[in-house]
Amino acid sequence: MIKLIGILIIIVGFALKLDPIAVVVVAGLATGLTAGMSFNQILTTLGDAFITNRYMTVFFVTLPAIGILECYGLRERAAYLIGKMRSVTPGRLFVIYTALRTLAAALSLRLGGHVQFIRPLILPMAEGAAKNNYGELEEQDIEELKGLAGATENYGNFYGQNVFVASGGVLLIIGVLKELGFNVEALAVAKASIPIAVIAVIVSAVQFLYYDRKLVRKKKMV
Amino acid sequence: MQNILLELLYVMCGIVSFIAAYYAFTGKGQECRIGTSLFWAILGLVFTIGRYMPKNVVGAMILVMAILAAFKHVRVGKFFTSSPEFKEKKAAEIGNKLFVPALAIAVAAFGIAQFTKLGGLVGLGIGAVIALLISFATTGARIDEATRESARLLHQVGPASILPQLLAALGALFNAAGVGEVISRGIGAILPADNITLGVIAYCVGMALFTIIMGNAFAAFAVITAGVGVPFVLNQGADPAVAAALAMTAGYCGTLMTPMAANFNIVSASILELKDKYMIIKKQIPVGVVLLIVHIILMLVFAF
């Protein structure tokens, strides 16, 4: 039982928002020591696995190209293209954004973000669309609109990313499985992530379109 | 051939890390200059020549990086970058060609993984080089802009960039210490090992619950896969790639439902000026629950 101290340290450390790197290393040291490993053995195991798993951090090689593109207006261009869309209702706008964001994540395009896209672009467009269709919104409806605007970014970001063969999630899966004695291909993991990416877009679309319907009903009742 | 290309890829990653160290060491207004540049330089060393070093020395270097991160001695530098006006102007001038290099990375990684024996990682490396060349051609950027921008981005990601790699190393330690066996013995006391449906439910729900507590699906994955996934799902004949892929995204369902994932759920609520800081989570909970159930069904159908 005492060996589980490492898991306890991880849970408490992450929950308290302590520095994640330090939490993980302390959890490793504690686990090794309680299992009767020597300090040198622990360092050797840690170092060996860290070298074997270097491939999890290979996104470094993409940074020069991505950096240049960001410097020369990649985000601005994407924002311009989204802004050109004439979307009819807030719900439909969110559906389109979630689908595009999922696609971008699957291609490892880092286009998105609450700061970069939702606040300056998607939220104002949704508010404008709501006003055109349903008139002035009540305060609670505006709160819900903002909540959905925040959620659309997360849905697209989370479920699309593992479709990319060299994403952090996919590489972590392969690495952990390898340490546990299972050899799997990155491509197989990426392909297995496709169905849930599609389903997530559909399920969230139901939520967004339901919000539209709620506003339509409210308008009729007035 | 593949191994040589992979080592070359790691050397390139190391160079990117050394560049971040150089900008930290020389940058004007850099806080914690020594700590920051030391962190990135050590990581650069691990990438480039770590393979030839004694493994306990590498372990000690990780310890140094952890101490630097724990005491907040790794800071984001102050970088010059292009102005919003410049970005708008270039975005209009260059147009959709800006997307070509970014797409080239994805296409090369997928294509090389699918059609050659070199694998997705080598594909990513080749794609990155192609993308860099096309970026220079389409934007007319200078080389020092590439180095500066890569350093800026790496500083922004910060020490968290090595978290996945470190979690895998932790998984190795857990394995050496026999942690997985302890957990699975504990769960085995209440859960019959050969009941596939219960095992799948335990794996998916366990991922979501641990992610809700920790706020991080990556950390949950290493722990839950060793303790629950392997004995109750993978050893029962599941396709490991399919089961593990779904377990990870089942964890993301937990991310949708927890204030512990503050970046996604709480900080963003402030960014959108929500009065109710929990509104994003409230909206995400029904979708998260539905998707979690879908995960259980998909794992039962596709992994067996």
Is residue B219 in a domain? yes
State in Å, rounded, how far the first CA of chain B is from the last one: 35
Select the residue from A63, A77, A100, A209 to test the B interface by mutation, using most B Cβ atoms within 10 A.
A63
Instruction: List the single residue in A46, A55, A199 with the smallest CB-CB distance to B59.
Output: A46
A67 and A126, same domain (yes or no): yes
Q: Tell the burial category of B69 from Cβ atoms under 10 Å away from its Cβ (0-12, 13-18, 19+).
A: buried
Q: Which residue type, as a one-letter code, is found at position A100?
A: L
State how far the Cα of A212 lies from the Cα of A132, in Å rounded to an integer.
13
B90 and B59, same domain (yes or no): no
The pLDDT confidence band at residue A100, using thresholds 50, 70 and 90, is very high
Q: Name the closest residue on chain B to residue A34, using Cα atoms.
A: B177
Instruction: Calculate how close chain A gets to B298, using CA atoms only, in Å.
Output: 8
Is residue B60 in a domain? yes
Question: Which of B91, B102, B128 is closest to A75 using CA atoms?
Answer: B91
A85 and A158, same domain (yes or no): yes
B208 and B288, same domain (yes or no): yes
Question: Which of B272, B203, B245 is closest to A161 using CA atoms?
Answer: B245
User: Chain A partners of B166 at a C-beta cutoff of 8 Å?
Assistant: 21, 24-25, 50
State how far the Cα of A10 lies from the Cα of A58, in Å rounded to an integer.
25
User: Chain B partners of A22 at a C-beta cutoff of 8 Å?
Assistant: 66-67, 69-70
* Helix, strand, or coil (residue A155): helix
Q: If you search the block for the tokens 């849905």, which residue do you land on?
A: A155
B135 and B200, same domain (yes or no): no
A41 and A77, same domain (yes or no): no
Last residue of a domain, one of A35, A52, A69: A52
Q: Tell the burial category of B270 from Cβ atoms under 10 Å away from its Cβ (0-12, 13-18, 19+).
A: exposed
The total domain count for chain A is: 2
| Chains A, B: CB pairs < 8 Å | 473
Is residue B169 in a domain? no
- Alpha carbon A167 to its chain centroid, in Å, reads 11
A43 and A86, same domain (yes or no): no
B298 and B182, same domain (yes or no): yes
Contact A64 B57 (CB under 8 A): no
A151 and A106, same domain (yes or no): yes
Is residue B39 in a domain? yes
B213 and B289, same domain (yes or no): yes
Domain that holds residue A129: 61-221
A11 and A121, same domain (yes or no): no
Domain that holds residue B135: 84-141
User: Chain B partners of A108 at a C-beta cutoff of 8 Å?
Assistant: 105-106, 109
B99 and B61, same domain (yes or no): no
Instruction: Calculate how close chain A gets to B184, using CA atoms only, in Å.
Output: 12
Q: What is the pLDDT along chain B (304 residues), one digit of tens a residue?
A: 788 999 999 999 999 999 999 999 999 889 999 999 999 999 999 999 999 999 999 999 999 999 999 999 999 988 888 898 999 999 999 999 988 988 888 888 888 888 888 877 888 899 999 999 999 999 999 999 999 999 998 998 888 888 878 887 887 888 788 887 787 788 878 888 788 999 999 999 999 998 998 788 988 898 899 889 999 999 999 999 999 999 999 999 999 999 888 889 988 898 898 999 899 999 999 999 999 999 999 999 999 9
User: Chain B partners of A72 at a C-beta cutoff of 8 Å?
Assistant: 82, 87, 90-91, 94, 98, 139, 141
Question: Which of B153, B117, B122, B98 is closest to B12 using CA atoms?
Answer: B122
> Does B240 contact A at CB distance below 8 Å?
yes
A174 and A128, same domain (yes or no): yes
Is residue B137 in a domain? yes
Q: Which are the contacts of A34, defined by CB distance < 8 A and separation ≥ 6?
A: A2, A3, A5, A6, B177
Contact A179 B175 (CB under 8 A): yes
Q: What is the pLDDT of residues A11-22, one digit of tens each?
A: 888 888 788 889
Contact B149 A64 (CB under 8 A): yes
Instruction: List the single residue in A69, A171, A200 with the smallest CB-CB distance to B101.
Output: A69
Is residue B163 in a domain? no
A142 and A99, same domain (yes or no): yes
> Does B123 contact A at CB distance below 8 Å?
yes
A69 and A165, same domain (yes or no): yes
Given CA atoms A201, A207, A210, A212 in this order, what sign does their dihedral have?
negative
Q: Tell the burial category of B53 from Cβ atoms under 10 Å away from its Cβ (0-12, 13-18, 19+).
A: middle
Q: What is the pLDDT of residues A150-208, one digit of tens each?
A: 999 999 999 999 999 888 899 999 989 998 899 999 999 999 999 999 999 999 999 99
Model confidence, pTM:
0.83
A37 and A110, same domain (yes or no): no
> Which residues 159-178 of chain B have a CB within 8 Å of chain A?
159-178
Last residue of a domain, one of B70, B98, B123: B70
Q: Name the closest residue on chain A to residue B174, using Cα atoms.
A: A31
CB B149 within 8 A of CB A67: yes
A106 and A212, same domain (yes or no): yes
B289 and B258, same domain (yes or no): yes
State how far the Cα of A50 lies from the Cα of B168, in Å rounded to an integer.
7
What does the pLDDT read at residue A222? 65
> Which residues 10-39 of chain B have a CB within 8 Å of chain A?
10, 12-13, 16-17
Q: What separation in angstroms does the CA of B94 have from each of A76, A110, A136, B138?
A: 11, 19, 39, 7
Instruction: Calculate how close chain A gets to B31, using CA atoms only, in Å.
Output: 18
Is residue B272 in a domain? yes
As a whole number, the mean pLDDT across chain A is 89
Question: Which of B42, B3, B5 is closest to B20 using CA atoms?
Answer: B42
B6 and B121, same domain (yes or no): no
A29 and A127, same domain (yes or no): no
Contact A195 B302 (CB under 8 A): yes
User: Chain A partners of B55 at a C-beta cutoff of 8 Å?
Assistant: 43-45, 47-48, 51
Contact B139 A69 (CB under 8 A): yes
> Does B224 contact A at CB distance below 8 Å?
no
Instruction: Calculate how close chain B gets to A119, using CA atoms only, in Å.
Output: 6
pLDDT at A86 over 70: no
Is residue B52 in a domain? yes
The total domain count for chain B is: 3
What does the pLDDT read at residue B26? 94
